[in-house]
Structure 1
Amino acid sequence: MVFAYLDEPPFCWPAANGAAQGCDVELVTAALRALGITAFEQRLTTFAELLPGLANGRWTLTTPLFVTAERRRLVDFSRPVWALADGLLVRVGDRARLTGYRAVAAAGARLVVVGGQVQEQAGLAAGIAPERIFSVATQEDAVAAVKNRRADAYASVAMAHRGYLARQPDAELAIVSVPASESAPAAGAFAFGKQHPALRERFDAALTDLIGNDWHRAMMARHRFPAGEY
């Protein structure tokens, strides 16, 4: 049993001892334990490798990601475990003018995304020119692009930006919530290789028992999730 995860707090990130931690890690651990699986391998990877790794059998399941029709053709998903809105990470001096994807488009600003994430399509749909969007491999790379002015805004879920700044405070950076009219909150779920339908069904049953119970609410609150986002 191999669980693939990212360095993206508060969802998941490697601790100093190399073990994975975060709300998604705690949830997958609890769900697998309910199935009698008390030990599994945790493998750190990049977002671009998550789905290919499932397809070629390098891992069994991955940290949750947004569910889309295109991704469903490649993998199977568990029941949703959170519903999150997009946000922009910008330099403090830009937060008044870069108020969402449309504002980025109108300003001719540059947007950075992590390769393969859905925020690239959201930016294009809002009118940002393709040549004003570029992708990088990791959250750290995207933040660095904003700080060194290669990009004006980094698009991800707002919760990921909050998690990053909680771990690495930076007075020069600010989070802008993308208006729901530009990008509505979307559901995320654990992804499984299509060769594991029985495991996914059992895992879903365990999630149903866990999500919303006292332990789960306390765990998500500890990771600073608002109640309406899970």
Structure 2
Amino acid sequence: MRFAFLQEPPFCFTDASGALRGCDAVLAEKVCETLGLDGFSAIEAGFAGLLPGLAANRWDMTTGLFISDERKKLVDFTRPIWMLPDGLLVAKGNPRGFAGYRSVAMDQTGMIGVISGQIQHPTALRNGIPAERIRTFGIQAEAAEAVAAGVVHAYASVAMAHRGYLAGRPDAPLAVIDVPAEEKQPAAGAFALAKGNASMRQRIDTCLDELLGGSWHRHMMREYGFSEGDIDRLL
């Protein structure tokens, strides 16, 4: 199985030795092993190329992505593998007092960063942030560095992704603010597969049904910073 991933801890990342780590990567490899699929190989990609790469047969499955009606027109999704809330990455001490998307909208000079193509962009717009105050970036590290440099004042993504980023950079002058549920409910993410292979999707779903919430899965997720509540939310 060819697995496309992003450098986005704690979901997927390469460690100092070059080995692939992260909860999505480990889960994907476990599914591959359990189902007896051809050897697992990981391919690093940019976010914008994940779904086109499936359509072009450059890989067989992607790291977890938020499920949306728009994306479902392009690819098939497995059953959810996590359900997580958004968060804002801000300067340490939160000098602008942000509490979520709407507080950024109320700050007349507040700039927010998002990753191009991710659902945080339309979420920011729905919560009143003008398009001209939203800046798009290609990868997580670029957006986080823009917050540290004051180029933008917040970066919107999954709160757990922000915490994963900071776990590897304890000295970074950054902090995470959880987005309130009234602005954005926790959303489900799943592996994406190319359309036209329902039997494979069903096999993967059956395997996930057996793995998720079990002792192996809980132990693995805890290693990457997930709480029991994070795990139980998707069951």
Q: TM-score, normalised by structure 2?
A: 0.94
Aligned to 1:122: 123
Match in the other structure for 2:27: 27
Q: 2:75 corresponds to which residue?
A: 75
Match of 1:86 in 2: 86
Partner of 1:169: 170
What is the Cα deviation at residue 197 of structure 1?
Answer: 2.1
2:44 matched residue in structure 1: 44
Q: Does the 8 A contact of 1:101 with 1:178 survive in 2?
A: yes
8 A contact 2:114–2:121 mirrored in 1: yes
Query: For 1:148-167, what aligned pairs fall within 5 Å after superposition?
Result: 148-167=149-168
How many Å apart are 1:142 and its aligned residue? 0.4
User: How far is 1:145 from its partner?
Assistant: 0.8
Partner of 2:98: 98
Query: Do the aligned partners of residues 171 and 143 (structure 1) sit closer, same or farther apart at CA in structure 2, a change above 3 Å counting?
Result: closer
CA distance in 1, matches of 2:159, 2:9: 11
Q: Which runs of 4+ in 1 moved over 3 A?
A: none
Q: Map Cα deviations across residues 17-68 of structure 1 (whole Å, 9 max, x no partner).
A: 3332111111111111111126221001111111111111111000011000
Q: CA deviation at 1:96?
A: 5.8
- The amino acid of 1:6's aligned partner reads L
Task: Give the distance between the partners of 1:46 and 1:30, measured in 2 at CA.
Answer: 23
Could you say which residue in structure 2 is the equivalent of 1:59? Answer: 59
Q: Secondary structure at the match of 2:51?
A: helix
Q: 2:212 aligns to what? A: 211
1:5 to 2:39 alignment: no
CA distance in 2, matches of 1:195, 1:117: 24
Tell me whether 1:132 sits opposite 2:133 in the alignment: yes
Using the alignment, how far apart are the partners of 1:126 and 1:207 within structure 2?
A: 34
Quote the Cα distance in structure 2 between the aligned partners of 1:175 and 1:145. 15
3-state SS of 2:191 partner: strand
Equivalence for 1:196: 197
Structure 2 unaligned segments of length 5 or more: list them.
Answer: none
The 3 A distance-change label for structure 1 pair 171 and 2 is closer
Counterpart CA distance in 1 for 2:95 and 2:60 is 40
Between the two proteins, the alignment pairs up a number of residues equal to 230
Q: Deviation per CA, 1:114-168, whole angstroms, max 9, x where unpaired?
A: 1111001110000000010011110000011111111000000100011011111
1:82 to 1:95, Cα distance in 2 relative to 1, 3 A: farther
**1:16 matched residue in structure 2:** 16
Rounded Cα–Cα distance in structure 2 between residues aligned with 1:79 and 1:177: 25
Q: Counterparts of 2:133 and 2:183 in 1: how far apart (Å)?
A: 18
- What amino acid maps onto 1:87 in structure 2? G
Partner of 1:146: 147
Give the C-alpha shift of residue 95 in structure 1: 5.3
Instruction: Tell me by how many angstroms 1:201 deviates.
Output: 1.0
Structure 1 residue 15 displacement after superposition: 2.2
Contact 1:92–1:173 at 8 Å: present in 2 too? yes
1:64 partner letter: G
Contact 1:19/1:42 (<8 A) preserved = no
One-letter amino acid of the counterpart of residue 205, structure 1? T
How far 1:171 sits from its partner (Å)? 4.8
Question: For the Cα contact (< 8 Å) 2:67–2:77, is it kept in 1?
Answer: yes
Check conservation: 1:95, 1:174, Cα contact below 8 A: no
- For residues 170 and 118 of structure 2, the distance between their equivalents in structure 1, rounded to whole angstroms, comes to 24
Q: Please, what TM-score do these two structures have when normalized by structure 1?
A: 0.96
